[in-house]
Every structure is written in structure tokens, then in C-alpha cells.
Structure 1
Amino acid sequence: MNVIIIEDEAPSARRLGRMLEKLDVGVDKILHSVEEAVNWFSKNAHPDLIFLDIQLSDGLSFEIFDTVEVKSAVIFTTAYDEYALQAFKLNSIDYLLKPIDEEELAKAIEKYRDFKPVPQDLQLDFDDIKKLLINPLERGYKKRFSVKVGQHIKLIQTSDIECLYSENKGTYAFTNEGRSYLLDNSLEAMENELHPEKFFRVSRKFYVNIDAIADIINYSNSRLKIKLNHFNEQEIIVSRERVKDFKAWLE
């Protein structure tokens, strides 16, 4: 689940982020104004879910929808209840009044999961589905990445990558030679570039290569810990919401 928060008050955004972390929901991006949100939506793939404050520093967040066709589900977070009717005319899943209650937040997340719409790009016709089933390689998944190493350009074969991970706003590829390389793309941009038989996004921070998995260990809160052949810079945890799909992917 890709999630962003649009909130002009930094303490409120941080508090909501911490509450979501407790529910094993990671936040991929925090935006702070109508202008920043419009600019971001025009340049990036839209997330699955937005937590959206209504009154932002430069106007009402409804103005975002007037400018950009937002394709994400929305949970509104606001101190004002007079906008509820207007909110539910949009892609609204729920309307949470501040200060947000943890139990109400958990219910809103469950509501989203129960009513999650099928993304437009997954609504394939029969010919598309047949093509993918017969020859998935026709999708043209990425075979290599080019990275800068000093004044040089190095080519990394996708098959040599153990994992891809995000850290300090950067995206890195860790290879079987035991080195990390900074990439230009975000993890979100990798979604349609990596072969789904080989790579799986186990959390908001990590994609792993099935050929690099050395061990899988039961972890707390019904999660799993993954050990790769060479990567040991930080723990790789399969988030609880992805465990079921991860186990199915392994088979």
C-alpha cells in the first residue's frame, strides 16, 4: 500500500505517521500545501491512499481536485466537520476529526482495504491477460540499470541485484558483489519495471530478489524477517499486510 499525507502542520503529520506505523502502514511522502500537492501529483504516480487535511496553508485541499484528476482513495483528516458532505463527493473512504483516535484510524484503514478499488491499469481486457500469461517477458521488464561511479557509468544486471531499498530519500541497488549503488528512480517507479517472478516489495523500504534469499524467519507481530546472501546493512522485515502475498509469491 502506497500512502501519502497532505498536512500543513508538521506535528500533526508526524503524529499521524507514528499512528500509521503502529498499524504497519508506512508513509511514502508528506506534502504540506495545495501548490506542493498539485505539483507532486502532476509528476508522480498517484498513491493507493491519501490522508488529506482540508484546510491547508494556501487554501482548501478540495482545490487539488479542481486542478488534478486524483486517482487515489482519500481519508480526510480535519478539525472541522462542516466539509463532510463535500468530502464524500470525492474519492473519500472516511472522514476523521482531529485529534485522530487510534481506533477510528484503524477502522478507516480496514474500510479502505475492504473497499479498495481495482486500479485502472489493472483492468486489462482478455487479449492483454492472455498475452501476459503466455509470455510475461513481452512486458519488457528491466534487464539492467546504469549508475554513476565517480566519472564513470557502470551497468548493473538486474539479475545481480539482491535487493533495492530506500534510505535518506535515496534509492539504492545492493548487488551480489556486496556493494550499494545509488539509482535515479524511486521504489514506486520500479513497480512496473521489475519482473514480479523475481522481485517482491516486502515493505515500503525494500524489494528483494527471490534468488538472493538465504533464510526466512518468523518475526514479531506475525511478520517475517528475511536474510539475503550478502546484504546485512539493516534488517529486512516483511510487513504484516504483505506476508500473505509474500508467501504466495514464494510458491
Structure 2
Amino acid sequence: MNVIIIEDEKPSARRLQRMLDKLTIQAETMLHSVEESIEWFQNNPHPDLIFLDIQLSDGLSFEIFEAVEVKSAIIFTTAYDEYALQAFKLNSIDYLLKPIDEDELNKAIKKYQENQPQKQQVTIDFNDIKKLLINPIEREYKKRFSVKVGQHLKLINIDEIECFFSENKGTYLHTIEGRNYLIDMTLDQLEEELEPQMFYRINRKFFVNINAIKDMVSYTNSRLQIKLNNYNDQEVIVARERVRDFKNWLE
């Protein structure tokens, strides 16, 4: 199965790819904008299946299909309201509401595979769908976290957090005041909830806030060591395979 992902939020694209990996499906290509996608479709064989976000950084993804005739099957990945989602479901293989659930992803893949013997062409009236998107839901990221302190709950605003890290099977946030608090989320779940321009996952154990970075120094094996304003409990290292993407994120 030849699959591509069109998604402007790189953390979401990477998370989707990890979920597809568990189903032994490898996305051959990841595209992040309308312009990039149009150019790719004009110069490459079209895939069997597209995982398609609705709102990309430079416009609605429907603009791709206005510029290029694409016959691939489509599974939408979106955060739009239920009325629009119902329309998508009638005209495509399926839709997946963000954050994507593994069971729903598996069902969508099975639905696609079951349709293959008939080789049915997916047709979408993009003009009709556009009419349903007069008031699309803006992507909202978490603005604050609630943590338990004794018998009390404490609210911590996102700009008060230097980093998130995992330790002993727990996930913690570290504040600018130098306090650690346990939260009821995994780092994979945080990847969908954090503003990608503000937080970056530098390795399997850490997210860092760009505003909390004090210094960066070269480290062994082509890695980078991050110095944060307050956090110093353990070394904060950018994984070698993420160094290039991390540098792009900084810019």
C-alpha cells in the first residue's frame, strides 16, 4: 500500500506515522502545505491512500484538488465540527478526529482495504464541503495544566512551564519556579496538545520550551546539550536524529 501524509503540524504527522508503523504501514512521503503538495502530485505517481489534514499552513487542503486531479483514496484527519465531519464521511473512506485514536485508525484502514476489490474511485465535491466550513474550529492547544498538590488542585499556565519530562513511568512538568509536578498525560499525548512553535520534543523523554533555553552546546555523537534557565535535575540532550529538525524549529 502506497501511503502519504499531508499535515502541517509535524508532531501530529510523526505521531500518525508511529501509529501506522504499528500496523506495518509506512508513509512514503510527508507533505506540509498546499503549495508543496500540488508540486509533489504534479511530479510523482499518486499514492493509494492519503491521510489529509483540512487546514494547512497556507490554506485549505481542498485547493490541492482544484489544481491537480487526484484519484487516491482519502482519510481525513481533522478537528472540524461534527456537521462537516458527517459530510466528509459520505464522500471519503473515513475521517479521524484529532487526537487520533488507534482503534479508529485501525478501523479506517480496514474500511479502505475492504473497498479495494471494487476499486471504487473516491469522489469529493469540494465546493459543497467548502460551504460547510464557514466557521471551522481553530486548532486549540492547551493553555494551562491542573496538578494535584496534597488535597488541592493547582493551575499552571503554559508560559510558566520550562519543560516536560518522563521519569519512572510518570510524566512531569517543570515550572520556571523550579518545581516538578506529576501530570496525568503521556509525552505522546502531549505531542498533540502543545503549541509546536513553543514546545519541541528533543528526545523520547523531554519537551522543552523555546523561551526557557539558556544555552546550547555541542555534545557527543553529533548531539546537542540544552541548558535551561532553572531545570538541572538531569542532562537535557537533543537526540542525534532530531538535531537538524530542532535547529529548523529554533529559526
TM-score by length of 2: 0.52
1:195–1:127: structure 2 CA closer, same or farther, 3 Å change rule? Answer: closer
Deviations 1:187-215 (A, max 9, x none): 00011111011000000000000000000
Identity among equivalent pairs (%): 52
Residue 185 of structure 2 aligns with an amino acid whose one-letter code is N
User: In structure 2, what is the equivalent of residue 193 of structure 1?
Assistant: 193
The offset of 1:73, in angstroms, is 1.9
1:203 to 1:126, Cα distance in 2 relative to 1, 3 A: closer
Q: How does 1:100-249 map to 2 (within 5 A)?
A: 116=28, 118=30, 123-125=52-54, 130=59, 138-249=138-249
Matches of 1:194 and 1:121 in 2, distance apart?
Answer: 25
2:165 partner SS: strand
- The CA RMSD measured in Å over matched residues stands at 3.0
Distance 1:157 1:209 in 2: 13
* 3-state SS of 1:164 partner: strand
Within 5 Å, which residues of 2 pair with 1:74-113? 91=24
Using the alignment, how far apart are the partners of 2:60 and 2:142 within structure 1?
A: 18
Q: Distance in 2 between matches of 1:196 and 1:121?
A: 23
Letter in 2 for 1:158: I
Q: Secondary structure at the match of 1:182?
A: strand
Identify unmatched segments of 5+ residues in structure 1: 1-45, 50-70, 75-89, 93-111
**Structure 1 residue 125, shift from structure 2 partner:** 3.7
Could you tell me how far 1:221 is from its partner in structure 2?
0.6
Change (3 A) 1:178 1:116: farther
User: How many pairs are equivalent?
Assistant: 146
Give, in angstroms, the shift of residue 117 of structure 1. 5.1
Q: Could you tell me how far 1:138 is from its partner in structure 2?
A: 2.8
Distance 1:196 1:47, change over 3 A: closer
Residues 122 and 202 (structure 1), Cα distance of their counterparts in 2 relative to 1, 3 Å cut = farther
Q: Which moved more, 1:238-247 or 1:121-130?
A: 121-130
Deviation at 1:118, TM superposition (A): 4.2
> Counterparts of 1:171 and 1:122 in 2: how far apart (Å)?
30
Question: 1:129 offset after TM fit, Å?
Answer: 5.3
Separation in structure 2 between the aligned mates of residue 126 and residue 198 of structure 1, nearest angstrom: 20
Query: How far apart are residue 126 of structure 1 and its match?
Result: 5.7
Question: C-alpha deviations, 1:121-164, integer Å up to 9, x for none?
Answer: 962246785279xxxx9311100000000000000001100000
Change (3 A) 1:229 1:72: same
Give the drift of 1:72.
2.2
Summarize the Cα distance change of 1:154–1:244 in structure 2 as closer, same or farther, 3 Å threshold.
same
Secondary structure at the residue paired with 1:242?
helix
What is the letter of the counterpart of residue 161 of structure 2? Answer: I
Q: What corresponds to 1:73 in structure 2? A: 21
1:64-104 CA distance string (max 9 Å, x none): xxxxxxx4225xxxxxxxxxxxxxxx726xxxxxxxxxxxx
- Tell me the distance in 1 between the aligned counterparts of 2:151 and 2:244: 44
Which ranges of structure 2 fall in alignment gaps of 5 or more residues? 1-14, 32-48, 62-136
The question of whether the paired residues in 1 share the 8 Å contact of 2:54 and 2:60 is answered with no
